């Protein structure tokens, strides 16, 4: 099925109105980005975008007990073998008796096109330490070399591998959560929908950080923050084309979770949005719809920050605040509690 391309987004030459919404840290970061990236990100082309977004060696500010890398292998339907690289972070928290540790399966962001394990290294360390859980970070395949549904397939395979090998990994298979930022948030949401469609147990929690959940580009934030720092609307549309191709693909809730027929029965959700983010209204619509369909939800919009803040530990005070807040909810569900109201 051919999906018509979204309308082009014009960038205004007037000073952006969102500047007055940014806190001092974010305003300094926005000014720096304007110097090093005077044109929209997507105009750099695929290789240019990848060079610009390639992370520096991770700072490793947070200590954990161990960090190892493995291959998650899983034989899917039809005997198809999946092998996905993963990085495993283990906390200093001891196991209690014979019960394994809780676990967070984490999917990095990057528009399904860029991003890496190194880019979320510090975030994963914080999750492991403060949520007292094993974190398994997934190095899923990237578009356009591997378009939809490759990333979804890799996410499914990594989760299935975790469940099947939980005992050997020292993990409690009943306490596996899933989370991700931006494209990774979309993959986390898609995993919950996929498990529900196959009548398999839901994760303990889904941590959705400004997730990409729709492709209509119609809600007000797409216009209000069309020229926001780092990623504007035209950039998001470009990333979407890398993922699905110029001709698009058949509609699928695994691509656009907000368009799923039902969200009832999905895992409880911790949803994070940024005030100055073209994805904001879609993500918040998803949170509202989850709640309306009976899913426990805790949503927090972080004021004064823009898309991408969550993984920039050390650059944004609210990044550490947001991770710490998510860890509190992870600890709550891992110990059998409910999301705080």
Q: SS3 for 175?
A: strand
Pick the catalytic residue: 128, 182, 186, 221?
182
CATH value at residue 290? 3.40.50.1820
Could you give the angle at which helices 317-334 and 121-130 cross, rounded to 10 degrees? 40
∠ Cα 11 305 112 (to 5°):
70
Q: Quick one: pLDDT at residue 142?
A: 98
The band of 13, judged by pLDDT with boundaries at 50, 70 and 90, is low
Q: Is 277 designated active site?
A: yes
In-domain check, residue 84 = yes
Alpha helices in the chain (DSSP H): 24-36, 45-53, 121-130, 150-164, 166-169, 183-197, 220-224, 233-244, 280-292, 317-334
Is 339 within a domain? no
Which of 56-65, 172-181, 295-304 is the least confident region? Answer: 56-65
- Asked if the structure places residue 4 within a domain, the reply is no
pLDDT of 248: 84
CA distance linking residue 138 with residue 335, whole number of Å = 25
98 flagged as catalytic? no
Query: What pTM, to 2 d.p., does this model score?
Result: 0.94
Mean pLDDT, residues 61-74 taken together: 94
Asked if residue 126 has pLDDT above 90, the reply is yes
Does residue 178 sit within a domain?
yes
Residue 341 lies in a domain: no
In the set 42, 108, 270, 307, the catalytic residue is 307
- Write the pLDDT tens digit of every residue in 224-239: 999 999 999 999 999 9
Find the domain containing 265 and state its range: 17-334
If pLDDT is split at 50, 70 and 90, which confidence band does 1 have? very low
pLDDT tens by residue, 304-335: 999 999 999 989 999 999 999 999 999 999 99
Total count of domains within the chain: 1
Encode pLDDT of 165-216 as tens digits.
Answer: 999 999 999 999 999 999 999 999 999 999 999 999 999 999 999 999 999 9
Residue 251 lies in a domain: yes
Instruction: Tell me which of 153, 181, 215, 277 is the catalytic residue.
Output: 277
**Cβ density class 246-255: b for 16+ within 10 Å, e for less:** eebeeebbbb
Please check whether residue 113 lies inside any domain of the structure. Answer: yes
Q: Is position 182 annotated as part of the catalytic site?
A: yes
State the pLDDT at residue 58. 65
| pLDDT over threshold 50, residue 132 | yes
| Residue 94 belongs to a domain | yes
């Amino acid at each position: 099925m051919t999906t018509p391309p979204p309308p082009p987004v014009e960038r205004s030459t007037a000073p952006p109105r969102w500047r007055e919404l940014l806190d001092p840290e974010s305003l300094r970061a926005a000014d720096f980005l304007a110097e090093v990236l005077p044109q929209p990100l997507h105009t750099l082309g695929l290789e240019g975008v990848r060079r610009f977004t390639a992370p520096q060696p991770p700072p490793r500010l947070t200590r954990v007990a161990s960090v190892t890398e493995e291959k998650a292998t899983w034989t899917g339907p039809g005997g198809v073998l999946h092998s996905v690289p993963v990085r495993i972070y283990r906390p200093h928290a001891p196991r209690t008796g014979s019960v394994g540790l809780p676990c967070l399966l984490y999917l990095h962001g990057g528009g399904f096109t860029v991003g890496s394990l190194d880019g979320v290294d510090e975030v994963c360390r914080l999750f492991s330490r403060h949520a007292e859980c094993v974190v398994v970070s997934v190095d899923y395949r990237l578009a356009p070399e591997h378009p939809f549904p490759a990333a979804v397939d890799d996410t499914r395979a990594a989760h299935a591998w975790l469940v099947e090998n939980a005992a050997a990994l020292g993990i409690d298979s009943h306490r596996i959560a899933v989370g991700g930022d931006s494209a990774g948030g979309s993959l986390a949401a898609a995993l919950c929908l996929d498990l529900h469609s196959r009548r398999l147990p839901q994760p303990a929690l889904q941590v959705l950080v400004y997730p990409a959940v729709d492709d209509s580009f119609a809600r007000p934030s797409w216009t209000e923050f069309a020229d926001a720092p780092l990623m504007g609307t035209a950039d998001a549309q470009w990333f979407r084309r890398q993922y699905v191709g110029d001709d698009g693909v058949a509609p699928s809730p695994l691509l656009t979770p907000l368009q799923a027929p039902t969200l009832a029965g999905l895992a409880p959700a911790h949803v994070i949005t940024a005030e100055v983010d073209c994805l904001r209204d879609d993500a918040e619509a998803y949170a509202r719809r989850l709640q309306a369909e009976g899913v426990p939800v805790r949503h927090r919009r972080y004021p004064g920050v823009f898309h991408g803040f969550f993984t920039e530990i050390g650059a944004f005070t609210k990044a550490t605040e947001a991770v710490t807040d998510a860890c509190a909810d992870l600890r709550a569900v891992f110990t059998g509690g409910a999301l705080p109201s």
